[in-house]
Amino acid sequence: MEATTLTENVSDVESSESMTFWNSLKEEVRKTYELLFYNRWPSWLAGILMAILALMIFLWHFPWGISGGYHNWGDWIYYLSGITDARPLSPWLHPVSVLNIGMIGGALISALFSREFRIHKTSRLEYLKGILGGMLMGVGSAFAGGCIEGGFYTAIGIFSMGGFAMMVGLGIGSYIGLRYLIWETDNMPANPAYRQPLPSQKPPFFNWSQAKPYIGGLIVLAVITAFYFYSFFDVTEIGGLCFFGMLVGMVMHRSRFCFVRVFRCPMMTGDAEMVKTVSLSLVIYAMGSAVIKWNFLQPDMMGVYHPFWIGSLVGGVFFGMGMIIAGTCASSALWRMAEGNTKIMAAVISFCIVNPLVVEAVKYSGIEHLLGKGLFVPKVLTWHVTLPLYALFFLLVSQLAVWNEKTEKFVIF
Amino acid sequence: MSAEHIKADKILDTRGLTCPMPLLKLKKELKGMKSGQILEVLGTDPGSKTDIPNFVRKRGSELMGITDDAEGFTRYHIKI
């Protein structure tokens, strides 16, 4: 025993003598890389990081949203196909579009670093569900004044009452969507969704798997360079959004953070994890934005435009159905697309095409005033009542989800 | 026991499907199986690597192993 200890001590001394500064640095970089990109990040950590990043985006420019960027991309589709003459704002200068592009970049970096990037193909039925789900989400966002991210998460985080109405709508829509998926599982024949890759006749010219982390490193450099590039042309704010987007994309991909699970899992498996995570995240987000708004760092009504209550509720129902059928929401679509999911790409394209159309239709149909208007919660309840009520509400919601996990009272399958 | 030596009573092919379909099909399949039987799930969705173990643990079944196949999909062996 003593001999073993002595041998270990001698080898320790030898290894410490041969350990140069660069060797030590190399080892630490390797350990950090493995910690960050080989393991999944816990969802509670992602929830906290998401709230912090959302608050930083709020302080930097505006309350975080996603669907505005999709709208801009849709406008470009119509402009480039000659359907409209009005040239939209460049996607490289549109704040939400740039944020989305940053998110795709961040998720791509994460997928490449972890060697998880891969083109995922699926069956025709799944592509059809992606397209239909994307269309429904596009309709829902148009009514609710935002997607699940802007119309629910951010809306609640910045005290817009429409967020709560959308939450109810998302619950109803998720129930309908899940009922359809259960029907499909029971009644539709198993559809071959996978095609065996053909065996290659000769060794590949280039080993992409080995190169993936280096390509990821190049994208990190590209995003950082883009920030300085924006700054050089006096649009630092836009460059900052690209950088924040990259961080959000990385956090979401590493933790596979998905808002859909908040509404789907309690009814499908009873799992309460994402309900607890998003409740925690929303309490942090709301407390942070209370500091920002109550202290007049940003205007009270900033971002409070969600049509309470009909618009948000109806939008939530459409969006909820769409996200369950497509298997993604507007924000998780960006990171899933970046890891090579082609069904989600189809969903994003149909979202982009439908959303601007329905926004215009709502505008010109004259029903806008019927949908409701932005309502700032502290204006009605005062700050002193709103803050403890928020904390209590989300504590109750998470405890209800935990109870459901144990009893499966709301599980429908 | 390595994955090649596990003899499954049933195979569920979810390759090409994305979240939540693999989990939904797994839940349906498990309902029709008896205690002690082994189900082999084939999947390509990266999310399943966390979803399936969590679901199996919550359900009180045993996840015997997860193996990445050379052809780019993953095998999950579940004992009911």
Predicted complex ipTM: 0.91
pLDDT in tens, A92-105: 999 999 999 999 99
Instruction: State the Cα torsion A155-A161-A164-A165 to the nearest 10°.
Output: -110
Question: Which of these ranges, A90-99, A200-209, B15-24, has the smallest mean pLDDT?
Answer: A200-209
pLDDT in tens, A13-25: 556 667 889 999 9
> Is A194 touching B (CB cutoff 8 A)?
yes
Among B44, B54, B71, select the one facing A120 at the smallest CB separation. Answer: B44
**Bridge pairing between strands B38-43 and B62-68:** unpaired
pLDDT for the residue A296: 79
Kindly indicate the confidence band of residue A188, based on its pLDDT and cuts at 50, 70 and 90: confident
Distance between CA atoms of residues B47 and B18, nearest Å: 8
Minimum Cα–Cα distance from A264: chain B residue? B20
> Is B27 touching A (CB cutoff 8 A)?
yes
pLDDT in tens, B23-71: 999 999 998 899 999 999 999 998 899 999 999 998 889 999 999 887 7
Residue with tokens 């982009």: A352
Q: How large a percentage of chain A has pLDDT more than 90? A: 80
Q: Kindly tell me if the per-residue pLDDT of A205 is higher than 80.
A: no
Hey, which residues 31-60 in chain B have their CB within 8 Å of chain A?
44-47, 50, 54-55, 58
Among B24, B44, B72, select the one facing A268 at the smallest CB separation. Answer: B24
> Is A195 touching B (CB cutoff 8 A)?
yes
Q: Kindly tell me if the per-residue pLDDT of A40 is higher than 60.
A: yes
Q: Kindly tell me if the per-residue pLDDT of A26 is higher than 50.
A: yes
For residue A160, the Cα-to-chain-centroid distance in whole angstroms is: 20
pLDDT for the residue A366: 87
pLDDT for the residue A276: 97
Domain residue extents for chain A: 42-193+207-407
Among A123, A324, A344, select the one facing B16 at the smallest CB separation. Answer: A123
Q: Kindly tell me if the per-residue pLDDT of A200 is higher than 80.
A: no
Q: Kindly tell me if the per-residue pLDDT of B1 is higher than 80.
A: no
> Is B24 touching A (CB cutoff 8 A)?
yes
Side by side, the strands of the sheet bearing B62-68 are B10-14, B38-43, B74-79, B62-68
- The verdict on a CB contact (< 8 Å) between A194 and B25 is no
User: What tokens appear for A141 in the block?
Assistant: 């966002």
> Is A254 touching B (CB cutoff 8 A)?
no
pLDDT for the residue B7: 87
Q: Kindly tell me if the per-residue pLDDT of A409 is higher than 90.
A: yes
Distance between CA atoms of residues A340 and A120, nearest Å: 6
Kindly indicate the confidence band of residue A2, based on its pLDDT and cuts at 50, 70 and 90: very low
Kindly indicate the confidence band of residue B16, based on its pLDDT and cuts at 50, 70 and 90: confident
